Amino acid sequence: MIRYLLAFFIGFICFFQAVPITAYAQQPSGPHIGSKLDKAYKQYICAWASLAAYDGRVQELARSELSQHGWNVIGFHRNTDKADAKFYLIGGTSAQTGDKMQILAIAGTENDKDVASDIKFRKVPFGGTALAAFNTITDSGHSTTSQVPMVHQGFNEYMNTVFSTPVGKEGNPLGESLADGLKNNPKEHILLTGHSLGGAVATLMAARLIDIGVPAGQIEVITFGAPAVGNQAFSDIYGKELLLDRVVIKNDPVKGVLQTITSGEYKQLGEKTEWYRNPNSDRFFHAVALYADAALRNYYDIKNSVPAEVNKIVGSIADSPVVYAGPISFQLDECIQNDERYIRQVVQDELRRKFSGHIIFSSGKARSLETVCTEAAVAGYSYILLDFIKGVRMKNTPYRFKLSFLEEVFDTAGNLVTTSESITDTAEMTPIEAVLYLQAKAQVSLPMLSHREKKTA
């Protein structure tokens, strides 16, 4: 009875994982500067891909962020008697290296059926080299030998649902389609990712791909707050082959809950990367918003620590900037003032992508419109962009904030060209994420300004 109550607790805390949390990240170690930055960028993109797998404003934010980075997102949903599987195939080019990347992001716990998957923690045999053999081996029952790889039944059923999902015109199983593509293109690789339940399923999916012949070097797994998936034999066999980055927030209870419930029968594998929650927050350690926030902070911390020739965003610089961005004006509650440096950088990076590099940023403190217009005119720019960001604490909610984002564009004579203002709160997002969400709603873009110039020419 106690085991089932504890199992219900797993599902309960996973179900409410979307509570907003602010976090800061500890920089991971690496063999050299380039690899540290590349690793941080992959963690950043995978965290946002994992965030995109959830419903609501959080998903809207993540989709916008991925779109700004040039990624294409295709969603899949398959509901069977075994699992209610939701996952996304995300393709694009790394802004850090210029390499093509493919990501499979699997959703975490969102509904009652997902909770049912979480609490099926009886172990079943894992193995096989073809789709037909997977269920046969699983249905063979509980093994009495410790040498047989055994995995969590609920996670395995969810993974099999994802793996066998028909895709493409011919309706081939997703797992086999991915495997064929990778085996036919040895230079390509895939990132599998997910938060919580999604991370556990991503780990099993990677093991399946290896079993059906995909070279382990073409597969990389990055999980966030994921529980263990198998026994010691599974960890021994696949731990040697899987390139698995297991990201955890310190004191997140989900990452070790199966070991606690089963008295150590489940074993973690992979390389552990540990981050820390922002001390300004008292929210739940397991929230997916926390992991995305921490990944963003970690990426910018490392990005700012490396030489300029390593720290670059591919394709972000244009030859002739036309927009002059004045210093961002901030008015933030003292509790989130430490977020200002991250907000400034992410807002400016999004503007670089939004304007295809046709923008330059002035430094220093906020100045009058007249001063900024004069600076822009002398330098030969056509437009001035000003951003105003305000964050206030909401009543009776110590760590809930209301954020507003005002963006104004002027010509060099000081005439207002366009303006956009949006407001949201941090019910589902951290303050940094909320600013990105609001910025995505701003309508100012390079095509819009170019169209205006043609009309006035």
Run of H or E residues at 169: none
| Helix axis angle, 33-52 to 57-68, nearest 10° | 140
**CATH 3.40.1000 is held by the domain 323-456:** no
d(CA 289, CA 294): 8
pLDDT in tens, the chain (457 residues): 334 333 433 443 343 333 333 333 333 333 344 588 999 999 999 999 999 888 777 777 788 778 777 788 899 999 988 888 999 999 987 766 777 789 999 998 665 544 444 545 688 899 887 777 777 777 766 555 568 899 998 899 999 999 999 998 889 999 999 999 999 998 889 999 999 999 999 999 999 999 999 999 999 999 999 999 999 999 999 999 999 999 999 888 775 565 555 546 888 999 999 998 776 665 677 888 889 999 999 999 999 988 765 555 544 444 566 899 999 999 999 999 999 999 999 999 989 888 887 899 988 888 889 999 999 999 899 999 999 999 999 988 878 899 999 999 999 999 999 999 999 998 888 999 999 999 988 876 666 666 555 455 5
Instruction: Answer yes or no: same fold for 2-303 and 323-456.
Output: yes
- Place domain 2-303 in its CATH homologous superfamily: Alpha/Beta hydrolase fold, catalytic domain (3.40.50.1820)
Reading the block at residue 208, the tokens are: 């399946």
The single-letter DSSP state of residue 217 is G
Domain boundaries, the chain: 2-303, 323-456
DSSP 8-state code for residue 230: B
Q: Are strands 359-361 and 323-325 parallel, antiparallel or unpaired?
A: parallel
- DSSP state, 297? H
